[in-house]
Every structure is written in structure tokens, then in C-alpha cells.
Structure 1
């Protein structure tokens, strides 16, 4: 057979052909490009993304009309930096010292040559801070959920998962091979209806986000814990958006309710309220041993860079020493949420530093984002596939490092820009201050 012959049809090189999912993604890309929305997706930060930042529109297929804009100074209302610790002088100094001592990487996986004393110290500090016996770290929060769920859940197990759980939970459960039963958002009745049908000895798990990343509401952990006790189920909580953002000193949603002893595994991120990168899982010593020797993300992925581990350790110390960080964070979120609702905008059921603003039309989300950017306010637009097509929104992420003048400037700009897009019917906002 002559493989060099030109008689063969030309090879298809379009990976979207034959894939309904990729064709849907391709349609979304074309929509963003054709409607000039790409300029506010993946904007570029020039320097440290702290309370203030220097940001330019995205270079990805950007509208030629925006070429002259260049970087703009903005107030950052889109950062996961809930505690405001990114760039803290003590965090930076700790990372710099570790960089000089260890370099940028340990060049290995944890079960072989990838563990240094900083990793062990960080895991001990996290376990104590969160209120669990032991803890293990991963290269990202996404990797933590994939690793934990595919290790602890398997064929024959039944997993009850909230319909709005993070994509990393959904993907981890697919890998596990378990029988997945999705329950209505935060519905204890929906959970119990499924549990009642299962034998008590059946291995079963209830899995929920602690704080839901798109809506900003908090799981009913007391209700879930009570059902788990009654029906003999394990409880797993993903606290990515609650660690260093909720509970006493930022210890998370289980600590918020005093339920650490009733949560079997707590996963989370080290790149949101905590000033680093990575993920973690906390639980009993026996459970964490299972994960150290049985979860692929720990066995086959490189360990955290030592400078990151050192910065995280210092961040945990600061959180424990300075409860006023959490007090300021919650003042900021409450003030903003009240101001946004006073305009008549829909914050949904937000009760955390995540404040969504639901938009009446898809294109308004990107138009409002662009107008705010030009006013010196950075917010993130969230559309499909992160949320359903009829639930597009702006997502505000509140930080402890914002000052009162920042909050008032944000509300004033939001009011003004929303009126330009005919999103408000009420009279102009009157700032009262606090």
C-alpha cells in the first residue's frame, strides 16, 4: 500500500467536527468575537493585582477600535483575594526567603523526592487552622477535587451532589465511576428523598460547595450533617471560596457552624482567600493517609513550589493574628450588597464575598463590564458555559483590602453605567456612607 499517494481524501483537521460539545463551544467563541465581547474576556494585568491594578483589554481577537486604549488603572472588584493578603509584605518576605533557600521547585512528586519541610509544616498549619486532624496539599484546587473524589468514591457507591456544585466536583465524580444523583440546589428534601431509598449499609456521600462560586450563597451544612448522621452518609465539602473568607478568622464554612467533626473531608483552594496556588484536603489521619497513598493528584503531580508554601504559611499566621481582616471583609461585602440592591439590581441570594448581579440580557453583561472598565472599575462578566444562557451576570468579588472610598466609588460608577444601559428605573443613588 502506497501511503505517499495523493489518492486519500484530505485529513479533517477541525476538532469540532463530529463533537456536539465542541461545536457548542465553537458557537460561543464566534458569538463573543462577532459581538466584540472578547476584549473583556481574559484581560491582561500589568503588575500586582491588588486593591488597585493596571489592566488592559484582552489581546485575544480584540476589537481594533480598542487598540489605542492601553493599560488602565482600575479598582479591583474581581479578585479572589478575599483576605487581601496577596502582596502583603510579610507574605512576600517569606516567599523571597524560601526562594533563596530552595529555588523555584523541589523537582519531584510528594511520594518520591518532592517533599520539603515547608510542605509538612504547611499541612500541619492548615489542619490546625481548619480544625481537622490532618491535611494533604495538591497542585491546584481543581486537582484536589479530582484526586479526592476519584480516590474515595467508586463503582457501587452512591453520591448525592448539589446541582450547582463546581465543575471540578462534576469531573471528579465522572472519574470515580460512582452512581451520581444530583439534588436540587440546597434542597434538604431532595437529599432526603434519595437517602430514604438507599440501604443503610450502602456506601453513600453527600457533596456540596461550602460557598457556591457563581451565586455566592452558603450551603445548609447543619441540615446536611443531620441527614448524614440519620442515614449513615459521608459528607464532603468543597470550601474553595470560603477558606480565609468565611467563619472565625476565615476558617471556612464547617467552622462557621462548628461542624468540623461532622465533615468527613474538606477540600479547598490555596489561591483565593489564601495568598498562593494549590489545593488541599483535610480530614481524619486515616482518611488523609488513604489520599496520600491512593489519590493520583498527590502521587503523580509535582509538589507546591517552596516559595508558595512559605507564603501560605505566613498568610495563615496573619489570619490568626488579625481577626479584623475578616471583620473588614464582611463589612465591605454587606455594604456593597446593600448598595447594589438599593439600586434595584438583583444580587440573587448572595451571603458571602461573592456578589452576582444578574443581567436581563446576555449582551448587557459585556457592555456593562466594558463601561465599568473605562470608568476604572474591574469586574468579571460570567456567561455560558460557566452559567446557563439565561443566568448571565457580573460577578463581584469583595476583598478586605478595599477601603470605604473604593466601595462608594464602585457604587457610583455602577449606578451611572447601569443608567446608560437603561438597567435602572429608580432615581439616582444617594450615598449615605457609614
Structure 2
């Protein structure tokens, strides 16, 4: 087997001290005196639009931020940050309804952590009649679709048994996320991209709020781009920012969707599968920060998103890619919606944009607002109601590498108190 070659990175050059001094010495300006500065559209919660615009004006082309050849960077999670609903799930849904998953030689071999119970459940539900490498009849065998969906969504079998067991770093991976590209082993990236394109067309055409039934599962039938996020990305690019997508989905799928808003493959980072000598997806993925290729041990997930940003955008190699970099080698704006995004969103130097989906650690850090740069916005489509209970920031909202839960701590070690949900 061979690794899929990493794309060449483009190191981001820091602003020079001279440029910074010149900017500091310049007379203060206001948006009204900057007629050529890209402007965000309305539709944001509270003062979020004004605060984002302030960062864009200060760090983009209006402030001379690209005079020395460097470009400020913004990074966005994709699923439920740029779109409403999960595009990887939409692709899995389409594949299950069109017999798009190939029978593996061994279900157990698809994941490093798949349990014997899951192996037995998948074998019983999906059968052994079709040859290895042939399409599974998931469109006409709802039991098979049910088992796959339950393992993907909940990490358990339809009977309730744990689908994954063992040891993994809970801030670098989660088995059911890594399992999705592993499900498409045997396909080429081009074939998976074609599934994603068809799933995309279907999901964008489906009415908002619509669902469909697969086996006994009810899943969203629609996906929508958030207009405000598309506008933010467009404004950032016009203001001289390099904009990246960083997702814990499968890269061929994410690339199809990011291309739809003008983000090319070179600016899309997701789970990168290792290909075999025939160019087909395997159950292994590329590593980050000095870790080798594996069956899912290192993906763009929590601390893994920081690693991939440091490695692919800023050219940081080896173990250092896991560490928070100096301000010159971090994003200016970062946006996310879930705990999988908390590390890279927190690394941003200008604004940490959070869409509220009631995810514990992320919302604790957002509402604590330790550096005064956290912006919380309700979801733009079907926002959640207010969470009635306090977020358990002081006790259990943080997940440690070994999976244990504990208090969320600030960088100085102090504990974040339990906090109320106030933006919904």
C-alpha cells in the first residue's frame, strides 16, 4: 500500500515588524472612510456582525495585511458550521439507498476498534451471499442499513452492544467518524466524489425540515448552506484572507461541498485515506504530527484539527504540530459548532465564532469568553431552544485523551464555572 501524497503546503508569512509599526502609527479609520473594504451582510445575532467586521478590517487588505506577501488565514469546520446538517451523513444515506458500499473481506478489519459483537451483527444483517468487493444490497436489505447507521451514529449495534472498544486518544479521533471513509474502502476517490455530488444535489433540493427513513432510522433528507457563513467566507476572501475548510469527514466528500462555495481542494482538509496501488481507498488514513498512517488513530478531530492546520497550512512538522503555535502562525478567525472544533477555534487570534448546538466544552469556553473574542450565534436554520440546565463546565464538560471527563480549565489552570445558555 502507498500513502496518498500530501499536498504541498503554502507557509503563511507573518507580518513584518515594520508593517505592524506603520499600521499602529496610522490614524484611526472607520468603516465609512474605507469605501473599498468588503462588508458583511446583515442577519447576525447581536453585535456579531460588527465584531467580525472589525477583525476583517483590522487584519485584511484594508489594514495592509497582505503588503509583505503574507495572507491572514480563516478556518471553518464544515458540517453544521457552513451547512445545516452533515454532508458525510448525506453521502452515507445516498450510498445505502443505492448499494454504494462494497462488502469487506472482514468487517472486523474495517476498524482497529470494531468489536466482535459488531462484526457478528454486521455479518448477520448484511449477509455473505455477495462476493467480497461486490456492492452490498443495502437498498433492499434494511437490516444491513440499520446496523451501519446505528454504528455510525451511536457507536453501538442495533441490539445495544458496544460497536467499538479498546484504547484510543479521545482528543485525536473517534472510531465512528474514522469508520466512514473505511466503509468506502475499495472505491476510488473519484467514485466516492460522484456519490457525494449526487447526494449533494438531492439534499439541496429536499425541503428544509424534510426527513427520510432508512431501515428503522429517521435521518435528515436536506442540507442547506448557511447564507451568512457563505457571505462571511466570500467577504474574507475579498479582504485578502486565505480561507480553509477543516472537517472530520471524508476528504473526497468534503471537497465536493467546499467546491460549491468556491473553496478548492488545496484549501480543504479532512480525513485523507491511504490508497492502494490501484488508487482505491483503503481502511487506513494518513497521519499528522509525526504519527504514521493508521486505521483511524489520527484524524482532524479536536486536537487533531489543530495538528492538521499547523501541518498543512503553516508547515509545522513532527510533534510540534500538536502544540499551540505563536500568534503569527495561527488563524485569525476560526468557526465551529461542536466539541470536535474546540481546540482550533480557540487557537484563533481575532475571533472564535461558535454556532450554538449545545456542545459542552465548546459552549463552556465560548460563554466563559476568557480573551473577549468569543462570538456565539444561534444556528441560522432551525436553531435549538435554550438549554435549561447549566453547562457542567466545572465538573464534566472536558474529555481527556483517555476518555475520562473533567472540568474545563482556562490556560492559567483555573476552572470554568458552570454557565447558562444565553444565546439561542
TM-score under structure 2 length normalisation: 0.28
Q: Which has the larger radius of gyration?
A: 1
TM-score under structure 1 length normalisation: 0.27
Structure holding more helix per residue: 1
